[in-house]
């Protein structure tokens, strides 16, 4: 449950397990009449999100105590959000929050919708929800991940979520004319995770307080972040606003270029520092090529794959729970024996278990070699979607071949031939792998 909450808090989990346009299959506890009514209503809605939402509302009006009420209300929230229907996001979101007040994603959706509407009573509720959202994030902050890569993703996600919660609080405080608190929260949001949105929010409330110079500097940061990242259609508006505020402050744009360059340098340094911090947590965070990876061994050693350039590398992706992997293991050992005198061929056993703590004891019990490495993100980069999978690299560090699964009676010969191909040596042709 804890991990499910975290996924929701940093935006990695869906609001519903199914698409809102897929009619949920009625469970057995529904009466036959309600089952028929729900099927008919959702069937008539087809693929139209507007009709789907209307069908949900009609059904809930007809069956206000439906056993599926909560599920249908969640579907209504998701569909209303897709339609940018803030009124219904608020209506159904607050109904769900009455029953499940710790649903982080719905808290964020409802808060955002209330702030867009902007009426005082709604903004006051939004502030309450935003504070509760951040409280949940703080409580969840003690959650520990397994690998360094998982820790990296968790920390990055939590930083983003905390910054988002602070920014929502800043907007609510500002709309309630608590300008000092608004600017403080917005600047804190930017310090937690520098983003275009947090920079703009800081500038908005600093300008409202009359802090023109500080507002300009934050707008310059928003402008430079947008330029450092993907093109942002709002960047031109930021640039125009900077010029407007700067001329109001100084009388002309003389000197504005230096200020923007200074903001660029500061923002670039902040992003560089964050990248360095993440790199210390996960040396593979920026790796786009397998040979840029450093993988960690079961015994705590580190292996930079770049150090194996000039060799054919055979990677065996496996897991302790995988029966076919255990069947394949002695066949791998047979192939390794064939190439034991070759210093230009290296075999790497790459474990993909989520729980790394069980691997060492498994190796000891099975009496397998302790020379095993964890995948550390390689599976995703190489799109290893099933195991066992064998990936063979040539001496240039390029993928030369891959074998998904294995044929027990042909594996030794097939893998040996693939290795010789990578070595550019003649071999006896074999049938293609699966």
Residue-range definition of the domain harbouring residue 396: 290-422
Nearest-angstrom CA–CA distance, 263 and 273: 15
The answer to whether position 159 is within a domain reads yes
- Choose the weakest-confidence range: 46-50, 127-131, 180-184: 46-50
User: What tokens appear for 266 in the block?
Assistant: 């500061």
Contacts of 12 (CB under 8 A, 6+ apart): 157
pLDDT, position 190:
92
Dihedral pair phi/psi, residue 399, rounded to 5°: -70, 120
For the cut 90, the answer to whether the pLDDT of residue 25 exceeds it is no
Question: Do both 121 and 42 map to the same domain?
Answer: yes
Q: Which is it for strands 345-351 and 312-318: parallel, antiparallel or unpaired?
A: parallel
The answer to whether position 237 is within a domain reads yes
User: What tokens appear for 248 in the block?
Assistant: 């109001």
Nearest-angstrom CA–CA distance, 190 and 177: 20
* Residue 430 binned pLDDT confidence (cut-offs 50, 70, 90): very low
For the cut 50, the answer to whether the pLDDT of residue 10 exceeds it is no
The CATH number of whichever domain residue 304 belongs to comes to: 3.40.30.10
* Residue 227 binned pLDDT confidence (cut-offs 50, 70, 90): low
Contact yes or no for 220/208 (Cβ under 8 A): no
Give how many domains the chain has, as a whole number. 3
Question: Do both 215 and 319 map to the same domain?
Answer: no
For the cut 60, the answer to whether the pLDDT of residue 13 exceeds it is no
The answer to whether position 430 is within a domain reads no
For the cut 70, the answer to whether the pLDDT of residue 41 exceeds it is yes
Question: Do both 276 and 156 map to the same domain?
Answer: no
- Choose the weakest-confidence range: 29-33, 85-89, 417-421, 424-428: 424-428
**Helix ranges (DSSP H) in 24-119:** 32-45, 49-62, 69-82, 86-99, 104-117
Dihedral pair phi/psi, residue 297, rounded to 5°: -90, 160
Q: 44 vs 63, which has greater pLDDT?
A: 63
Question: Do both 224 and 246 map to the same domain?
Answer: yes
Decide if 322 is catalytic: yes
What are the percentages of helix, strand and coil residues in the chain, rounded to 5? 60, 10, 30
Question: Do both 236 and 91 map to the same domain?
Answer: no
What is the DSSP track for 102-128?
T-HHHHHHHHHHHHHH--HHHHHHHHH
**pLDDT tens column, 179-193:** 999 999 999 999 998
Active-site annotation holder among 30, 95, 308, 322: 322
Question: Do both 308 and 391 map to the same domain?
Answer: yes
pLDDT, position 23:
42
Active-site annotation holder among 325, 382, 403, 415: 325
* Residue 21 binned pLDDT confidence (cut-offs 50, 70, 90): very low
Q: Name the DSSP class of 24.
A: P
For the cut 80, the answer to whether the pLDDT of residue 99 exceeds it is yes
Nearest-angstrom CA–CA distance, 331 and 336: 9
**pLDDT tens column, 312-353:** 999 999 999 988 899 999 999 999 999 988 999 999 999 998
Mean pLDDT of the region 369-386: 87
Q: 127 vs 217, which has greater pLDDT?
A: 127
Question: Do both 183 and 60 map to the same domain?
Answer: yes
**pLDDT tens column, 240-274:** 888 888 888 888 888 887 887 787 777 777 777 76
Question: Do both 12 and 93 map to the same domain?
Answer: yes
**Helix ranges (DSSP H) in 176-211:** 179-192, 196-208
* Domain stop point among 189, 208, 239: 189
């Amino acid at each position: 449950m804890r991990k499910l909450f975290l996924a929701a808090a940093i935006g990695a989990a869906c609001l519903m397990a199914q698409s809102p346009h897929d009619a949920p299959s009625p469970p057995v506890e529904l009466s036959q009449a309600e089952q028929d009514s729900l099927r008919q209503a959702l069937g008539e809605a087809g693929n139209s999100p507007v009709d789907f939402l209307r069908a949900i509302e009609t059904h809930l009006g007809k069956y206000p105590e439906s056993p599926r009420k909560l599920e249908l209300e969640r579907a209504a929230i998701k569909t209303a959000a897709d339609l940018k229907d803030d009124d219904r996001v608020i209506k159904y979101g607050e109904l769900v929050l009455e029953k499940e007040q710790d649903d982080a994603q719905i808290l964020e959706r409802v808060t955002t919708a209330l702030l867009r509407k902007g009426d005082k009573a709604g903004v006051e509720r939004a502030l309450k929800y935003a504070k509760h959202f951040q409280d949940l994030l703080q409580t969840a902050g003690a959650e520990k991940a397994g690998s360094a890569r998982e820790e990296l993703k968790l920390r990055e996600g939590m930083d983003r979520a905390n910054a988002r919660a602070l920014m929502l609080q800043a907007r609510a405080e500002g709309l309630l004319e608590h300008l000092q608190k608004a600017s403080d929260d917005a600047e804190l949001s930017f310090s937690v995770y520098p983003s275009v949105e947090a920079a703009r929010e800081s500038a908005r409330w600093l300008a409202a307080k009359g802090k023109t110079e500080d507002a300009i500097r934050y707008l310059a940061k928003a402008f430079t972040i947008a330029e450092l990242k993907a093109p942002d259609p709002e960047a031109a508006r930021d640039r125009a606003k900077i010029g407007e505020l700067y001329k109001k402050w100084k009388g002309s744009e003389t000197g504005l270029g230096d200020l923007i360059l200074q903001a660029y340098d500061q923002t670039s340094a902040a992003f560089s520092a964050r990248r360095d911090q993440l790199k210390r947590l996960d040396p593979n965070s920026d790796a786009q090529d397998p040979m840029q990876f450093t993988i960690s061994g079961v015994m705590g050693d580190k292996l930079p794959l770049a150090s194996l350039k000039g060799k054919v590398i055979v990677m065996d992706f496996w897991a302790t729970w995988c029966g076919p992997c255990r069947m394949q293991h002695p066949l791998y050992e047979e192939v390794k024996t064939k190439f034991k005198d070759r210093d230009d061929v290296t075999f790497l056993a790459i474990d993909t278990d989520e729980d790394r703590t069980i691997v060492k004891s498994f190796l000891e019990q099975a009496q397998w070699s302790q020379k095993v490495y964890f995948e550390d993100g390689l599976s995703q980069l190489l799109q290893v979607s099933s195991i066992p999978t064998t990936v063979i690299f040539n001496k240039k560090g390029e993928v030369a071949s891959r074998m998904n699964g294995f044929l027990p009676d042909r594996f030794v010969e097939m893998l040996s031939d693939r290795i010789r191909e990578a070595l550019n040596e003649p071999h006896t042709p074999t049938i293609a792998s699966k």
